[in-house]
C-alpha cells in the first residue's frame, strides 16, 4: 500500500 512508498521521514 502507499505506506511503503512514502518513506520520506528519517
Q: Where along the sequence are the contacts to other proteins (CB under 8 A)?
A: 1, 3-4, 6-10
Return the exposure string of 1-10: e unless at least 16 CB atoms fall within 10 Å of the residue's CB, then b.
eeeeeeeeee
**DSSP, residue by residue, 1-10:** -HHHH-----
- Give least dist CB 4 to other proteins, A: 5
Nearest distance from C-beta of residue 5 to other proteins, angstroms: 9
Closest distance to other proteins from the beta carbon of 10 (Å)? 6
Amino acid at each position: 500500500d502507499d505506506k511503503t512508498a512514502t518513506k520520506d521521514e528519517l
